[in-house]
Structure 1
Amino acid sequence: MATPAVEIDVEGPEGVRKVRVSSPDKPYFPGLGVTKLQVVEYFLAVGPGILAALRDRPTTLERWPGGVTEGAKLSTRQDHSGDAFYQKRAPKGAPDYVETARITFPSGRPADEVCPTELAVVAWAANLGTLTFHPWPVRRDHPDHPDQLRIDLDPQPGTDFSHAARVAAEARSLLGELGMRAFPKTSGGRGLHLYVPIEPRWTFVEARRAVIAFGRELERRMPDQVTLSWWKEDRGERVFIDFNQMARDRTIASAYSIRPTPHAQVSAPLLWEEVADARPEDFTIHSMPTRFAEVGDLHAGIAEAAFSLDPLLELSDEQDAGDLPYPPEYPKMAGEPKRVQPSKARSE
């Protein structure tokens, strides 16, 4: 027999919201004994942090309505048979306090995505099975102009978080030389994310070009440890700078999001002094509320800074190395090289 729904009180700008949690005892991480209600309670415990990461941003919801069970998988563009899925359009029947933001996909089609403005929206989404929130790097008042440069350090097979941490140290130095500052966080998996707040006056194409320029300079400095190759066959045992995470409609798991891993790891903001010795598995749905109570939101400073992209765009001009491939679902972009992996190109 299903456990009756419960209502929880969530403080917000309009007072207390009553958020309904259906099947509160439903297992969401069976191996850990974590229920749906405990997932909702986790997000409330880190409320100021998760809301700061999402506020006024168009946000894709990664929904696991059946929980993270053995064998469960996420639907993809190629395979829609998964147990979990990305919700890019706001669900019908959402409460009136769930606001939306209009975004445009690379195809030119528009969509109205959930745009969190208060913590009750996060709790409501968690009740729908949302574990990971994927906010765009824009605010809804300027949806075509990113206000964050997101640098994704993605360890390839044969490397791990410690390799990404070493690359992050050099990335920090390079940003300092450019007069910029980054805020690090774990991805919730093996990688590291660096967020650089920027002025919202450049396009996605320019922001992506800036990340490519940054990645090329890191690759020049650390050729045995860093790769910018879009093609997996050429990456080797290096850390990939995933420049296409700055392309339109590509997003990164927000700080404090829960990842669908056996230990319910979360994406954890870090102090730079912590990066070298951090262990992603130490930041979980169980440990993060205590850490948050002790250190607060280590990404709060993102809202207090906004850097110019000019130094990176000037670096791009100096490199004069051209563009790199976009993801396969994108329309052909101006100046883009052929989307053919090297081994196939050589065989033609």
Structure 2
Amino acid sequence: MASAQTLIVPGPEGDREVRLSSPDKTVWPATDAGEAITKADLAAYLMAVGEPFLRALNDRPVTLQRVRDGIGGEIFYSKNPPKGVPEWAATTMVTYPSGRSHPQLVVHELATAVWAAQMGTVTFHPWPVRSGDNDHPDEIRIDLDPQPGLGFAEIVEVARGLREVMTEVGLTPFVKTTGSRGVHIFAAIEPRLEFLEVRHAVIGIARELERRMPDLVTTAWWKEERGQRIFVDFNQATRDRTLAAAWSPRVLPGGPVSVPMTWDQLGSVGPDELTVRTVPEWLAEHGDAWEHLHDEAGTIDGAYALWEADLERGLGELNFPPDHPKMPGEPPRVQPSKKVAEHWDEDGNRIDG
């Protein structure tokens, strides 16, 4: 096994040298579909998709999903930049739901991504903000999360329904596979509203989609209430919630990749066919379907109007992730099947004793 390899990575300020230790180390074990994928293979993949991958990451704080001993070993997230970050790598200060702040890595050039792979990073999770303003998202991101028993055809059907809703409210939706079972839909927005308001706009979109496709779509936060439907994960719009970047590999068997597609392409290829081994050829043949995602930012006003209309109908706040502080109007943070009504007040606060 080779002990180390030095890669020459071109960048905006000239070539960088990135040392790759144990390049033959397995990241993804071999499967029936193909041979093992090594750290050197991962670095080569990142360089092959470098231009569109940087478009997805550039100028954004990034959380790194890292592994020890490949995807079968320990998997953990790095929000602080890993130790030994090169002096030429950029960072930006971000604030978390708890109110604390610390720097996160910003991938301004491909060498930073390759160095992160050297440090065990497999999946890159960028925030929906730019480093110059970490409080006002410039993207709406919606995750369609299928419950057990649903196939990819149903996910595609719901994604097309979501496209209609988003287009009607003035957004231009772009779609990608997740690298797993679902799909992600993004839209560029003007960075005017803060996270809570963007989340409310996403809830407005999600509820409208649920009204149109009640047999296939749910906004129920608790899994026991979702049934065999596709959950529109509105909480991906909250602060410190991120999705895998376009063109990023995933920590899943076989080395799958989250791949942007045109709406016509969606459903024409199975997500398990798009891997670290196959995606460079896909990109060479089809190009980057998200190249123009940020050419023109849409307005979020129409989506936010859906939220306001639902407020008038008597629909209010939905549950936040458990690591967020309790929010005004939030429903009780307890599974409906375990809720005892007299233990909760009308504002969703627990009454002790």
- SS of the residue 1:64 aligns to: strand
Corresponding residue for residue 18 of structure 2: 19
1:164 pairs with one of 138, 155, 160: 155
How many angstroms does 1:33 deviate by? 2.0
TM-score by length of 2: 0.93
Letter in 1 for 2:323: E
Q: Deviating runs (4+, > 3 A) in structure 1?
A: none
1:256 aligned to 247, 252, 260, which one?
A: 247
In structure 1, give the amino acid aligned to 2:62: T
| Aligned-residue offset at 1:310 | 0.5
On the 8 A contact 1:99/1:117 being kept in 2, the answer is yes
Residue 220 of structure 2 is aligned to residue 229 of structure 1: yes
Does residue 129 (structure 1) correspond to residue 120 (structure 2)? The answer is yes
Query: What secondary structure sits across from 1:179 in the alignment?
Result: coil
Q: Deviations over 1:249-268 (max 9, x none)?
A: 00001111111222111001
Whether 1:313 aligns to 2:292 is no
Shift of 1:4: 2.1
Which of 323, 335, 339 is the equivalent residue of 1:345? Answer: 339
Displacement of 1:161 in angstroms is 2.2
**Contact 1:29 1:262 (8 Å CA) reproduced:** yes
1:179 aligns to what?
170
Distance 1:255 1:65 in 2: 23
Q: Which residue number corresponds to residue 60 of structure 1?
A: 63
Q: Secondary structure at the match of 2:307?
A: helix
Partner of 1:78: none
1:265 aligns with 2:259: no
What CA distance in whole angstroms lies between the structure 2 residues aligned with 1:286 and 1:93?
Answer: 29
Unaligned runs of 5+ in 2: 343-353
- Aligned 8 A contact 2:152 2:267 in 1: no
1:8 Cα deviation from its structure 2 partner: 0.7
Q: How does 1:195-206 map to 2 (within 5 A)?
A: 195-206=186-197
- Residue aligning to 1:94: 85
Match in the other structure for 1:153:
144
- 8 Å CA contact 2:82–2:119 kept in 1: the answer is no
Cα distance in 2, alignment partners of residues 29 and 188 from structure 1: 14
Percentage identity across paired residues of the two chains: 47
Preserved contact between residue 170 and residue 300 of structure 2 (Cα < 8 Å): no
Aligned residues of 2:29 and 2:254 also touching (Cα < 8 A): no
Q: How far is the alpha carbon of 1:347 from its aligned partner? A: 7.2
The TM-score, its normalising length taken from structure 1, stands at 0.94
Matched, 1:329 2:328: no
Equivalent runs, 1:31-42 vs 2, <5 Å: 31=30, 32-42=35-45
Cα distance between partner residues in 1 of 2:90 and 2:108? 7
Give how far 1:295 is off: 2.0
CA distance in 2, matches of 1:160, 1:104: 38
The range that moved more, 128-137 or 269-278, is 269-278
Amino acid at match of 1:222: M
CA distance in 2, matches of 1:177, 1:329: 33
Q: Distance in 1 between matches of 2:52 and 2:64?
A: 17
1:48 and 2:64 correspond? no
Secondary structure of the residue aligned to 2:265 is helix
- Following superposition, the deviation at residue 346 of structure 1 comes to 5.0
Letter in 2 for 1:243: F
